Chain A
Amino acid sequence: MEVGKLVELNAAYARVIDNEQFEEWPKLFHDPCLYKVTTVENVAQGLEAGIIYADSRGMLEDRISALRKANIYERQRYRHIVGLPVLLGEKNGVVEAETPFLIVRIMRDGKMDLFATGSYRDKVRADGSGGLRFAERIVVCDGGRFDTLVAIPF
């Protein structure tokens, strides 16, 4: 698999979130899948829990419908800066890759914060039409401290 294809997938991922096209986000995953937001510390200690955990595309869709319709929070946006992926291996058409990210949170009043940094630990494979999707995306945050709330996925 070419690194360029992975870069395109990551760019599309960041773009749909930052442009608030949230309904497009679950479509970048296979179904079933695994999406989890956790921390370096939890991973190091073998602790499984995440602040977000989804093992189906439906659960990803529920994240989006909740942030659109159910949850209440102050208006905010993200800006993702996604680094270059490192290919760690490929087996049976599944590529393992790791990509660093940085997320700036922009609040309604214009306040900008460095909200999260970390690495995406991914398993990626092509769908029926040859497009790449995530079979697994584990978002491993460098810090274990989250400010106020996390409504929008990382």
Chain B
Amino acid sequence: MDTHRDIGVWPENSTARVPYWVYQDEANYKRELERLFAGPTWNFVCLEADIPTKGDYRTNVVGAMPVIVVRDADGRINCFENRCAHRGALIAFDDGGKVDNQFKCIYHAWSYDLSGSLRGIAFERGINGVGGMAKPFDRERFGPRKLRTTTFCGMVFATLSDQTPPIEQYLGTEISGRVKRVLNRPIKVMGRFVQALPNNWKLYVENVKDTYHASLLHLFFGTFRITRLTQGGGVLVSPDGGHHASYTIDKADDRQTTAYRDQGIRTETDYKLADPTLLDTVEEFGDKIQLQILSVFPALILQQIHNCLAVRQVVPLGTDKMEIRWTYFGFADDSPEMTTRRLKQQNLVGPAGFVSMEDGCVGGFVQRGIAAAGDEVSAIEMGGDTTESQATRATEASVRGFWKAYRERMGY
């Protein structure tokens, strides 16, 4: 293995070739944290429904940076670094909660208002004129960094860059429309789960964008016609390549096709459910789209699989570890029957998902498979070597789109 290669040199100038060192290299990982997560991107930090009233907050991360997201007295949502100006301790150390008017660091009781500005320094003037802070102390210089926030259809995003364009411009018209299609009214959170994966974060993002694998890896998808390549559908890729939405439309004539059997694919079996109410679906978006998987660059997924709705935040934790923060949701106006339907369909996703569990292990299989192949490349050329939207899902266009956006932003 050539150990003298230069990081940042793409072996072939093609979006259909990806070198395996991008999943292994420490310097590359640091560059991702700087250029992608701390760069001009919108990073999902919570749902508006997570923090409905003044003082409600959640903690999260933007790349490596811990952040607090909080709703202030004016109803605005602020996001700032979760790091005390004094000694760098976490200001808030729970997943979320409610505060009155301030956050107070527990270490030395320095306090912050709901915009993240340092307000109070305990014993700033010392005791009886002795001790205390030297003057002047530059609060702005040492204070936690403030992120710009934006909301879109009930999702809250934050960015560290002044250059990040408005969210709808960032996503493009087509992908924005596909977000609005699902998040068309107030939601209610139904549950939160974390899934730890033994692989680089990009392997999971690619997997989500990979419309080719879904019905091949996941027997459940193909067997129950949740998604099959022979059904109607396609993939939309944003002009910059970074965002995508794939979708499946059921077609009656798919039930007669022998395409999967002809390919000898394991999805064509007589597998049956003892209790088919799991897949008792109602069409709730009025457009026959029964599955839509949408990604926002770099690391958010919005999912509609039948009536099972969720957001998945991808959190990088080093070159070979990551986690998915799942938030399952329904709508605030769901009937009890609809709630039960969603609870049942949630069996499809998450760490124990009939469909998603394989996505939990397949990234690790790649990470282990490429252990000695840092200088080799993968071939991603289903559907050609371009990144435009396509009216088929037997393509890897949206995976190539990811690499197009990645290389542009990483300077490769």
Contact B328 A49 (CB under 8 A): yes
Given A59-B278, A61-B274, the answer on whether A71 and B194 have CB atoms closer than 8 Å is: no
Chain A residues closer than 8 Å to B277, beta-carbon distance: 56, 59
Contact A146 B220 (CB under 8 A): no
Q: Closest B residue to A53 by CB, please name it.
A: B343
Q: Any chain B CB within 8 A of the CB of A8?
A: no
Q: Identify whether the interface residues of B are mostly helix, strand, loop, or mixed.
A: mixed
| A69, B266: Cα distance in complex, Å | 10
Contact B274 A58 (CB under 8 A): yes
| A37, B354: Cα distance in complex, Å | 14
Q: Closest B residue to A58 by CB, please name it.
A: B275
Q: Any chain B CB within 8 A of the CB of A150?
A: yes
Chain A residues closer than 8 Å to B219, beta-carbon distance: 69-72
Q: Closest B residue to A145 by CB, please name it.
A: B194
* Binary interface encoding of chain B residues 361-372 relative to chain A, with 1 for a CB under 8 A from any of its CBs, else 0: 100100000000
| A90, B344: Cα distance in complex, Å | 29
User: Distance (Å) between the CB of B359 and the closest chain A CB?
Assistant: 9
Contact residues, A23-78 vs B (CB, 8 A): 37-39, 41-42, 47-56, 58-59, 61-62, 65-66, 69-74
User: Distance (Å) between the CB of A69 and the closest chain B CB?
Assistant: 6
Q: Any chain A CB within 8 A of the CB of B357?
A: yes
Contact B192 A150 (CB under 8 A): no
Contact residues, A113-154 vs B (CB, 8 A): 144-151
Contact residues, B175-225 vs A (CB, 8 A): 189-198, 217, 219-220, 223
Contact B346 A49 (CB under 8 A): yes
Q: Identify whether the interface residues of A are mostly helix, strand, loop, or mixed.
A: mixed
Given A50-B343, A148-B198, the answer on whether A56 and B275 have CB atoms closer than 8 Å is: yes
| A39, B195: Cα distance in complex, Å | 13
| A74, B365: Cα distance in complex, Å | 10
Given A47-B190, A49-B191, A49-B346, the answer on whether A66 and B354 have CB atoms closer than 8 Å is: yes
Q: Any chain A CB within 8 A of the CB of B351?
A: yes
Chain B residues closer than 8 Å to A149, beta-carbon distance: 195, 351-352, 357-358, 360-361
Given A50-B343, A51-B351, A146-B196, the answer on whether A59 and B190 have CB atoms closer than 8 Å is: no
A47: which of B191, B220, B360 is its contact (CB, 8 Å)? B191
Chain A residues closer than 8 Å to B343, beta-carbon distance: 48-50, 53
A48: which of B190, B217, B357 is its contact (CB, 8 Å)? B190
Chain B residues closer than 8 Å to A47, beta-carbon distance: 189-192
Q: Any chain A CB within 8 A of the CB of B350?
A: yes
Contact residues, A73-116 vs B (CB, 8 A): 73-74
Contact A150 B346 (CB under 8 A): no
| A38, B354: Cα distance in complex, Å | 16
Q: Any chain A CB within 8 A of the CB of B95?
A: yes
User: Distance (Å) between the CB of B326 and the closest chain A CB?
Assistant: 9
Contact A51 B350 (CB under 8 A): yes
Q: Closest A residue to B343 by CB, please name it.
A: A53
Given A41-B192, A59-B275, A151-B357, the answer on whether A72 and B217 have CB atoms closer than 8 Å is: yes
B364: which of A49, A61, A148 is its contact (CB, 8 Å)? A148
| A145, B346: Cα distance in complex, Å | 17
Q: Any chain A CB within 8 A of the CB of B347?
A: yes
| A61, B210: Cα distance in complex, Å | 31
| A49, B351: Cα distance in complex, Å | 13
User: Distance (Å) between the CB of A20 and the closest chain B CB?
Assistant: 17
Chain A residues closer than 8 Å to B358, beta-carbon distance: 71-73, 149
Q: Any chain A CB within 8 A of the CB of B320?
A: no
Given A59-B275, A69-B271, the answer on whether A50 and B364 have CB atoms closer than 8 Å is: no
Contact A145 B323 (CB under 8 A): yes
| A72, B350: Cα distance in complex, Å | 15
Contact A42 B339 (CB under 8 A): no
Contact A52 B352 (CB under 8 A): yes
Q: Any chain A CB within 8 A of the CB of B273?
A: yes
Given A148-B198, A149-B360, the answer on whether A53 and B189 have CB atoms closer than 8 Å is: no
User: Mind listing 25 A-B residue pairs with CB under 8 Å?
Assistant: A38-B191, A47-B190, A47-B191, A48-B191, A49-B191, A49-B193, A50-B343, A51-B352, A59-B275, A61-B275, A62-B273, A62-B274, A66-B220, A69-B269, A70-B220, A70-B271, A71-B354, A73-B358, A74-B361, A145-B194, A146-B193, A148-B361, A149-B358, A150-B357, A151-B352
With A49-B193, A50-B343 given, name 20 new contacts (CB 8 A): A47-B191, A49-B191, A49-B343, A51-B193, A51-B346, A52-B352, A56-B275, A56-B277, A59-B277, A59-B278, A61-B275, A69-B219, A70-B223, A71-B219, A72-B217, A148-B360, A148-B364, A149-B358, A149-B360, A151-B357
Q: Which 10 A-B pairs have the closest CB atoms?
A: A49-B191, A58-B275, A149-B360, A58-B274, A150-B352, A146-B351, A149-B357, A49-B190, A145-B194, A51-B352
The interface of chain B, by Cβ under 8 A from chain A, is: 95, 189-198, 217, 219-220, 223, 269, 271, 273-275, 277-278, 323, 328, 339-340, 342-344, 346-347, 350-354, 357-358, 360-361, 364
The interface of chain A, by Cβ under 8 A from chain B, is: 37-39, 41-42, 47-56, 58-59, 61-62, 65-66, 69-74, 144-151
